[in-house]
Amino acid sequence: MAITKRRSKKGIRYQVKLRGDDGKWVSETFGTLKEAKLYENNQISKKLKGQTLNGDAHKVSLNDFFTMWMASSCQASFGWKKKQKQMFRDYIAPEIGSLKITRVKAAHISKILQNMQELGRGEQTRRHVYNLLHKIFDDCIQDYEYISYNPVKRKLIPKLHKKEQEHLDYEEVVFFLKYVRSLDFGLAIWIQLLAGLRACEICYLRWSKHIDFKNSEIKIRGTYRRSEKRFVNFPKGKDWHSVKIPHELLLFLKEAKLRSKSDWVVTSLTNTQNPMSYNSYLKVLKRHTKNAEINPNIATHNLRHSTHSIYMSNGATEEDMQLILGHKCVTTTRRYIHGRHRAKKRVEEITESVEIFSSRS
């Protein structure tokens, strides 16, 4: 291991050259002697710690490494891989895909996130890309030992501003339940609002396996993955669970069961032997909200966000809602409980009216 002083068109450069554990030469050139010595010390420290010095690292581009990384993610779902590939292709590869992985710096990461912001991409999308980059380089350090530090710094994390999800309040829920009861996919809307299921979990429901009339329960045992266009035998969160069926929903389900000619709880509008299509359901839901003249921004998941309106108006606690919605953590459930701004306003009004030492007539 040695530092060689070289002259070039760019001026004096300092080259650090060493032989890796794989027998291949590793070389890195720096503009200052200080940077070269720092790199050399890092490599010496790396060897003393028993870490591997790999000569191939300086030949591998980020595009090449991403291909290897995705191939090694054998346990990841098809849908997850598809999403990561799309983000890498759209935002990362055009900027730094051709760079050698050892050449990527924090400035490159910052530029990617800045460009996304200029393109108008949302906070959540930028956070997803940040997480992908951080995971790529973290695995590059831990599993491949191609680099010794992660250029995706924590200070670059895009901040997420909390926004309240669109939802229906108690009066709107009651009105909408009455409005859709006899309309297309009315049963699906009732199940979402009164049992808190996700739309893709409703696509999976069968009368024979998942509706327990005896114990008044819906057994949640799987879901439909839109990104993969297939059913999987476990819901989001991986855990099977059950939801108690409210009395009025139970009556509706019994009526629907008597009329049903299929084992699917909610069927396609065009072929009753097939399950409900998510896209058809969303389209019909949008038509219902428009005709009912309620919040036009309500989509399928916003119905799940509206479930709290019914239960908490009838005395349910956060822990109760956690069980109803099937969350592992009550922190997640709190994102589904809305209207806190109204409670805050009431507290402000009460605070302003409090008088302890003032004389009262």
Tens digit of each residue's pLDDT (9 = 90 or more) over 241-264: 899 999 999 999 999 999 999 999
- DSSP per residue over 183-194, as a string? STTHHHHHHHHH
* 67 occurs within a structural domain: no
Both 77 and 202 in one domain: the answer is no
218 versus 323: the higher-pLDDT residue is 218
* 352 occurs within a structural domain: no
* 350 occurs within a structural domain: no
Please give the pLDDT value at position 355: 59
**pLDDT, average across residues 120-135:** 95
Does 132 score more than 90 pLDDT?
yes
Both 304 and 198 in one domain: the answer is yes
Both 200 and 334 in one domain: the answer is yes
CA distance 295 to 299: 10
The first and second tokens of residue 93, run together, are: 């590869």
Domain tally, the chain? 3
**pLDDT, average across residues 88-109:** 94
Interior CA angle at 330 toward 327 and 335, to 5°?
85
Please give the pLDDT value at position 354: 56
CA distance 188 to 199: 8
Please give the pLDDT value at position 277: 94
| Dihedral (Cα; 95, 96, 98, 103), 10-degree rounding | 150
CATH code at position 145: 1.10.150.130
Both 42 and 187 in one domain: the answer is no
* 163 occurs within a structural domain: no
Both 263 and 310 in one domain: the answer is yes
Please give the pLDDT value at position 46: 66
**pLDDT, average across residues 226-235:** 88
Q: How confident is the model at residue 1 (pLDDT cuts 50, 70, 90)?
A: low
Looking up tokens 């349910």, which residue turns up? 316
CB 82 within 8 A of CB 227: yes
Residues in the chain, total? 361
Residue 229, amino acid: K
CB 276 within 8 A of CB 206: no
Please give the pLDDT value at position 228: 83
**pLDDT, average across residues 106-133:** 95
* 162 occurs within a structural domain: no
CB 270 within 8 A of CB 167: no
**pLDDT, average across residues 95-114:** 93
Q: How confident is the model at residue 347 (pLDDT cuts 50, 70, 90)?
A: very low
3-state SS class at 279: helix
Classify burial at 81, counting beta carbons within 10 Å of its beta carbon; exposed 0-12, middle 13-18, buried 19 or more.
Answer: middle
CA distance 45 to 298: 57
* 275 occurs within a structural domain: yes
Please give the pLDDT value at position 51: 61
Provide the percentage of residues in the chain whose pLDDT is more than 90: 51
Tens digit of each residue's pLDDT (9 = 90 or more) over 326-338: 877 877 777 777 6
CB 17 within 8 A of CB 1: yes
The DSSP letter of residue 88 is: I
**pLDDT, average across residues 61-79:** 86
Looking up tokens 């809307």, which residue turns up? 189
Lowest mean pLDDT among 42-46, 52-56, 193-197: 52-56
Q: Which domain holds residue 119?
A: 73-156
Q: State the average pLDDT for the chain.
A: 85
CA distance 152 to 130: 8
Lowest mean pLDDT among 108-117, 140-149, 206-215, 235-244: 140-149
Both 8 and 82 in one domain: the answer is no
Angle between helices 123-139 and 106-118 (to 10 degrees): 160
Please give the pLDDT value at position 136: 95
Tens digit of each residue's pLDDT (9 = 90 or more) over 48-63: 666 655 556 677 899 9
Please give the pLDDT value at position 327: 79
Angle between helices 278-291 and 186-195 (to 10 degrees): 90
Both 309 and 176 in one domain: the answer is yes
CA distance 160 to 136: 22
Tens digit of each residue's pLDDT (9 = 90 or more) over 3-33: 788 877 778 888 777 666 656 666 677 788 8
Please give the pLDDT value at position 336: 74
The first and second tokens of residue 44, run together, are: 């010496």
Please give the pLDDT value at position 131: 96
Looking up tokens 């991986």, which residue turns up? 238
Both 36 and 177 in one domain: the answer is no
pTM value?
0.67
Looking up tokens 């800045």, which residue turns up? 114
Both 183 and 220 in one domain: the answer is yes
Provide the percentage of residues in the chain whose pLDDT is more than 70: 86
